[in-house]
Amino acid sequence: MAKLNIVKYGDDTLRKVCRPVEKITPRVITLLDDMVETMREANGCGLAAPQVGILRRIAVVEVEEGQVIELINPKIIAFAGEQQEQEGCLSIPGKWGITVRPEHVTVRATNRFGEQFDVSGSGLLARALCHELDHLDGKLFIDHVIRYEE
Ligand code: NI
């Protein structure tokens, strides 16, 4: 495993729309492993492939320690409710703001074994899922901020 460099705000990569993964190659598996390591080293609860310079629809989320969710070609298939909570991003260090997100989301994705699965989350997990999926479409949390924290 290797720790990857995290692309910072201002780099065009963060505003690009990522391409789907067509085949789960050993490179994709290595990328997932490296993304998990990079997220943990940075004390983040999520990381998307464009944040490490790869324009593919891949993200990892770990809201509860040891419970990594690896997402390949993820899509939100259901959402409900609303929450307004604090959010930040490893690509925008030092900046925190209150965003509006759904309270509950269900995401359908493929895992590293090529199997489709659904994951549902509320609260922080819902926020993290929305945040990471946004990255795959070139969107950042600052696009959703209603006010910044001092
Ligand atoms: Ni982010």
Catalytic-residue membership of 132:
yes
CA 44–ligand 1 middle distance (angstroms) = 9
Q: Distance (Å, rounded) from C-alpha 73 to C-alpha 108?
A: 8
**pLDDT digit string (tens) for 120-133?**
999 999 999 999 99
CA 132–ligand 1 middle distance (angstroms) = 6
Residues with CB under 5 A from ligand 1 (ion): 89
> Among 19, 47, 13, which residue's Cα sits nearest to residue 31?
47
Catalytic residue among 64, 70, 132, 149: 132
Here the tokens at position 25 are 């190659």
**pLDDT digit string (tens) for 13-68?**
999 999 999 999 999 999 999 999 999 999 999 999 999 999 999 999 999 999 99
Instruction: Supply φ then ψ for residue 17, to 5 degrees.
Output: -90, 130
Q: Distance (Å, rounded) from C-alpha 119 to C-alpha 126?
A: 10
Average pLDDT over residues 2-18: 97
